[in-house]
Amino acid sequence: MFKSHWYVLRTAFIPMLAAAVIGSGALAPAASAATAATAPWGAPVAFTGNADLTSLLDLTVAADGSAVALWVLNQSQDTLYASVRPAGSSTWGAAHTLDVTPIGRGEATLLASPDGTVTAAWTEFPNDVAPYGTNPGGRLLAAVLAADGSTWSEPVELDSAAQWLGDVRLAEDPKGGLATAVWTADPGSGHEVHSAVRAESDGSWSAAERLDVPYVTGATADSPQVAVDQYGTTTVAYTDGFADRDAGTDESRVVTVTKALGASAWSAPVTVSDPATRVGGAKLGVAVDGDTTLVWGAADPSTDDSALVSAVRPASTGVWGAIEPVGTGGGAEMSDLLIGPNGDITLVWVDYRTSFGTRTVTRSAATGTWSAVRTLSTQYVPEQFDATIDDDGTVQAVWTQDASAAEESPRVLVGSAMVNGTWTAPKTITPAAADSVYGDRVAVAPDGRVTAAWAVTVEDGSSSQHWQLFSASTVPAAATAPVVSGTVRTGSTVTCKVTWKGATSATSYAWLRDGKAIVGATAAKHRLTGADYGHQVACRASAANEGGTATATSAAKKVAAGPALTATTKPSITGTAKVGKKLTAKAGKWSPAATSYSYQWKRGGTSIKGATKSTYKPVKADKGKKLTVTVTAKLTGYANGSATSTSVKVSG
């Protein structure tokens, strides 16, 4: 996820995407709402008290769906906390203290692993007390949350530096195993890119190792990115540069190094960018097929014209391809590369056009082209945003924007999702505007549940400004809408079929007749009765998670008549078959059981006029003839069934 903390200030050249991909200077309008169902946001829940200075550092979701947040409380000292919200719960557990320093908290990041553990890594500058800058030395620490979310390991030091540590990134192969950390360190002689690897066997970290190789004396490296493909090959990209103001030299390049699974050493550095350009802000990502993509900003030193460019290293060749243009412009900070299962790549960022706004663009893997830039926001955006991607390729973006166009407008947190290539209309996540909303984070669980977290200013009547952290989650969404499955006729059993995205509860059901609940019909299956015949029947399904409960209703279907009743025991005639004696028809037994019957007596197979009762007295015309009775069985909602008795011969 994109990291942007107000207390960590760095200046980096990160070019802006094109107003439209090469050739158009106009922004494309925001997309209409996605046709696929997207879930609404549940009510926000506070997970800290309101303190003078509370900052959200990062948010992730563990493999079991538990949300994990890193945050810092700055009072008389800096305290780094981790909070866990168990899967399916709307309540955050008690905060766990990871670290305490007098001052100088740096940045922090989280990595959720397939085995259910979560790794936290953070930098701190415990000796950088007043007068600031006289003893800035920093440390990089890491700790691991157990898979059951109950305990954190003791923090271990990965590196220390006399001047500065930052740009911390964590990555792990998709199946879990070796985890790699990369960061920028300044031992006092300039920025370097360092790395450490966590062993799969015992979870221990290797000694910090320098990855960059200065291409000239005095060159420095920073802004590392790391990605691991499904084969276990780790790629690190970073910016390598050299500047000499006296000599008028200002050059930089994007460099990558790789390390195959089981290899003992990193490859030699490979320059991916054009040496004739100045570069910055590289973003690295790997697709499920192993193809690795780099996007970075490139500027012409003679004109300062900037462009966003990209290159792809196919898994089949392992060699970086030609540099491809993405767009022109300058001055924006981007999300990570959000790569879907089909290889499409989406970027989200905030930049200034006529105003600061949230933009996005997507590269189609099928065509290799970038879409036109879209603006997602509807008001001024103060450079607070985050974006992530689901396993199915759904992109989730959140950002802070003004609540209105009015001067000094309060602010709200807004979210939008890209489903099947189409962005939904923005939805406000915060129930009320606040003076400030910042530290926006968004994360998605393996089952599609989305959680956002943020900080807001809280007014308590004092002159001090207080901050409080909140979270909200999306309620379940019907991945496939409910449908009534089966033959919709009386006597048949129909099934309510629905699949959910993001549900943690079992599905509950209610069957509806003409829009009203059928008493007792609360199972996934419902046997249609005569009471349903001729009416419209539908099913309503509900599921819940920590965000709340979602309900979806199927289309209604009219119930047709059931099949004709069937005689399991055919009708019979009792009595003496003689002229003037009474004969009685027995209706027999029927499935399903009939509620009424009609009769027709027959002489030699021909209906006798008026002989339509259950009894009949033979007349002279019947003498010597064979009589039968045909019984018609009736039940509401079913077709009538008919059966004929065995004949009897009438004597005189």
The whole-angstrom separation of Cα 403 and Cα 64 is 35
Q: Where in the chain is the domain with CATH 2.60.40.2700?
A: 478-558, 566-649
The whole-angstrom separation of Cα 349 and Cα 336 is 9
| Burial class of residue 113, CB neighbours in 10 A (0-12, 13-18, 19+) | buried
C-alpha separations of 38 from 387, 399, 420, 504 in Å: 16, 18, 11, 17
E-only strand ranges, 305-375: 306-313, 324-328, 333-334, 338-339, 345-352, 356-363, 374-375
Q: 472-492 b/e with 16+ CB inside 10 Å = b?
A: bbbbbbbeeebbbebebbbbb
Cβ contacts of 34 within 8 Å, gap of 6 or more? 417, 418, 419, 420, 422, 423, 424
The amino acid occupying position 123 is T
Q: Residue 101 has what pLDDT?
A: 84
Please give the backbone phi and psi of residue 300, each rounded to the nearest 5 degrees, phi first.
Answer: -80, 115
Tokens of 432: 């009320």
What is the architecture of the domain spanning 45-474? 7 Propeller (2.130)
Instruction: Check: CB of residue 333 under 8 Å from CB of residue 14.
Output: yes
C-alpha separations of 599 from 180, 251, 586, 612, 615 in Å: 86, 103, 10, 5, 9
Instruction: Check: CB of residue 309 under 8 Å from CB of residue 322.
Output: no
Instruction: Check: CB of residue 229 under 8 Å from CB of residue 261.
Output: no
Strands across the sheet containing 466-473: 45-46, 466-473, 450-458, 437-444
C-alpha separations of 606 from 586, 602, 603, 618, 648 in Å: 20, 5, 5, 14, 14
| Burial class of residue 245, CB neighbours in 10 A (0-12, 13-18, 19+) | exposed
Cβ atoms within 10 Å, residue 623: 13
The whole-angstrom separation of Cα 441 and Cα 462 is 28
C-alpha separations of 206 from 5, 118, 646 in Å: 28, 18, 94
The amino acid occupying position 322 is A
The whole-angstrom separation of Cα 178 and Cα 143 is 15
Tokens of 334: 């981007």
DSSP state letter for 562: B
Instruction: Check: CB of residue 229 under 8 Å from CB of residue 315.
Output: yes
**pTM (2 decimals)?**
0.82
The amino acid occupying position 90 is S
The amino acid occupying position 278 is R
Q: Residue 241 has what pLDDT?
A: 86
User: What sign for the dihedral angle of Cα 398, 399, 405, 408?
Assistant: positive
C-alpha separations of 602 from 4, 27, 57, 566 in Å: 93, 85, 91, 21
Tokens of 600: 């027709």
In the chain, the N- to C-terminal Cα span, in Å, equals: 101
DSSP string, 181-237: EEEEEE-SSS-EEEEEEE-TTT-PBPPPEE----SSTT-EEEEEEEEE-TT--EEEE
The whole-angstrom separation of Cα 141 and Cα 128 is 17
Q: Is beta strand 105-112 parallel, antiparallel or unpaired with respect to 118-124? A: antiparallel
Instruction: Check: CB of residue 501 under 8 Å from CB of residue 447.
Output: yes
DSSP string, 586-612: E--EEESPPSEEEEEEEETTEEPTT--
- 367-371 LR contacts (CB < 8 Å, sep 24+): 368/324, 369/21, 370/18, 370/21, 370/326, 370/327, 371/21, 371/28
Q: Residue 463 has what pLDDT?
A: 53
For 633, half-sphere exposure in the C-beta direction (CA atoms, 13 angstrom radius) is: 24
Q: Residue 25 has what pLDDT?
A: 31
Given 2.140.10.10, 2.60.40.2700, 3.40.50.1220, 3.40.50.1010, which CATH number is that of 566-649?
A: 2.60.40.2700
The whole-angstrom separation of Cα 34 and Cα 24 is 25
The whole-angstrom separation of Cα 29 and Cα 11 is 30
Cβ contacts of 61 within 8 Å, gap of 6 or more? 67, 68, 112, 443, 444, 445, 446, 449, 451
HEC sequence for 369-425? CECCCEECCCCCCCCCEEEEECCCCCEEEEEEEECCCCCCCCEEEEEEEEECCEECC
Q: Which of 364, 407, 356, 409 is nearest to 385 (CA)?
A: 356
Q: Which of 468, 287, 391 is nearest to 61 (CA)?
A: 391
Q: Which of 102, 138, 103 is nearest to 121 (CA)?
A: 138
Q: Where in the chain is the domain with CATH 2.130.10.120?
A: 45-474
Please tell me whether residue 275 adopts helix, strand or coil conformation.
coil
Tokens of 569: 């025991």
- Tell me the mean pLDDT per 10 residues along the chain, length 652: 32 35 33 51 90 88 95 85 93 94 81 95 81 72 95 95 90 84 91 92 91 83 93 93 71 94 92 92 92 91 83 94 74 83 92 87 90 92 92 94 90 94 94 86 92 85 73 92 97 97 93 98 97 98 93 97 96 96 97 97 96 96 96 96 97 83
The amino acid occupying position 191 is H
Spelled out in words, what is the top-level CATH class assigned to the domain 478-558? mainly beta
Q: Which of 41, 9, 11 is nearest to 476 (CA)?
A: 41
